[in-house]
Amino acid sequence: MKALRKHAWITGLAVILALLFVATKLIQPSFGASGIESLARAALPFAFATVAQAVVVIAGGIDLSIASIMAVCSVTAAVLMEGASGPAALGVVFLVLAMGGAMGALNGFLITITRVPDIVVTLAMLFVYEGVALLILNAPGGRAADWLRGLIIGGLPIPGLTGIPRALIFLLILVALVWLPIRRSRTGLSLYAVGSDALAAFRSGVNVGSTRIVAYGIAGLFAAMGGLTLTLSTGIGEPIPGPYLLASVAAVVLGGVVLGGGKGGLLGPLIAVFILRLVRMDLTLLSVDPNVSAIIEGTIMVVVVMIGGLLAAKGKL
């Protein structure tokens, strides 16, 4: 029954996404491969931020510092690639990924040793990472290696499949590469166990502290990927964090991950990201005032979580 409901939620999301694609096609008949490509590319940093948030929320936490970690990674990549744009850029990528993972793990470590609530620790770290980003680069600048940018711009270089955006494949491969092995392992099970009941998990022999550190570390890794794609798609580093925090929480909730932990996966949030991005794109295509579209987006989010809340309450009774 529970599994059915989980899948029902994801199926519902997929149907909404499909309907939105049809609507987009109706609004703009010329919408095609290039439209999907730009959608996927714009959604990329949002998708990574959401996946990062989803991992932490599944483990029962919340990470307010995601957008700041992304900013640190984005500026680090942009500054270092300015000097090393050739093959050396690959080293930069790995360095940045390691940095992101370390920043995330530091969040988890601080939460574990201080026993201060997640939301407070990550709020404090939000300021810290924001400061770090500003120290590395205090105005937008730097550059991205061109060959790396090629990874996420354009369609697949395979004949017949050029309609599939590279950004989408890039996203799916990276998320699968990190998440699937973890999900299948003992660690993955611990993440869900700690998220649904930390005390019960502790009494069953799960090391709650190190599980939290792992969860935040994975989130940091995904946030680093988000920061990298940000630099790759714009070509520069931006020290002021973008609107990724709010968007990531919204997409996580819309994607069926329960705040409080223990339930949900990464597929739902990923579909939710594309739904939210597509809504924004449709509103732009309809030439709706961007401010009005902000209201519409907020309303969608509130209505969705209210319906979700009602369903959850019904399930409990």
Query: Applying CB under 8 A, which part among 14-22, 176-184, 271-279, 307-315 lies near other proteins?
Result: 307-315
Closest distance between other proteins and the C-beta of residue 271, in Å? Answer: 18
Residue 112, token pair as written in the block:
């574990």
Tell me how far, at minimum, the Cβ of 243 lies from other proteins, in Å.
9
Nearest residue to 136 via CA among 239, 52, 213 = 239
Helix H or strand E segment including 20: helix 2-27
Minimum CB–partner distance for residue 162 and other proteins (Å): 37
Assess contact for 244 and 46: CB atoms under 8 A: yes
Give the C-alpha distances (Å, rounded to integers) separating 25 from 18, 36, 83.
11, 11, 43
Shortest distance, position 47 Cβ to other proteins, whole Å: 19
Asked if residue 116 binds other proteins (CB under 8 A), the reply is yes
φ and ψ at residue 257, rounded to 5 degrees: -90, 125
Distance in Å, CB of 71 to other proteins, minimum: 11
Crossing angle of helices 166-184 and 186-196, in 10° steps, is 80
Burial 257-294 (b: 16+ CB within 10 A, else e): bbeebbbbbbbbbbbbbbbbbbbbbbbeeeeeeeeebe
Q: Give the range of 96-104, 129-137, 201-209, 215-223 binding other proteins by CB under 8 A.
A: 129-137
Which residues, 6+ apart, have CB-to-CB distance to 126 below 8 Å? 64, 65, 67, 68, 245
Classify 197 in phi/psi space as left (phi over 0), alpha (psi -120 to 50) or beta: beta
Q: Which of residues 62-81 bind other proteins (CB under 8 A)?
A: 62
Q: Which is nearer to other proteins, 23 or 246 (CB)?
A: 246
- Three-state DSSP at 263 gives coil
Q: What is the DSSP string of 136-190?
A: H-SSSB----HHHHHHHSSB-SSTT-TTSBHHHHHHHHHHHHHHHHHHHSHHHHH
- Contact pick of 123, 164, 208, 236 for other proteins (by CB under 8 A): 123
Interface pick for other proteins out of 185, 284, 312, 315 (rule CB under 8 A): 312
Toward other proteins, which CB reaches closer, 226 or 239?
Answer: 239
Classified as helix, coil or strand, 237 is strand
**One character per residue 267-296, x = contact with other proteins (rule: CB under 8 A):** ----------------------x-xxxxxx
Interaction between residue 253 and other proteins (CB under 8 A): yes
- State the minimum distance, in angstroms, from the CB of residue 94 to other proteins: 25
Chosen residue from 43, 103, 121, 174 binding other proteins by CB under 8 A: 121
Footprint (CB under 8 A) of other proteins, residues 142-201: none
| Per CB under 8 A, 124 contacts other proteins | yes
Nearer to other proteins by C-beta: 178 or 272?
A: 272
Among 92, 97, 126, 257, binds other proteins (CB under 8 A): 126
Q: Which stretches of the chain bind other proteins, using CB under 8 A?
A: 62, 110, 114-117, 119-121, 123-135, 138, 246, 249-250, 253, 259-260, 289, 291-299, 301-302, 305-306, 308-310, 312-313
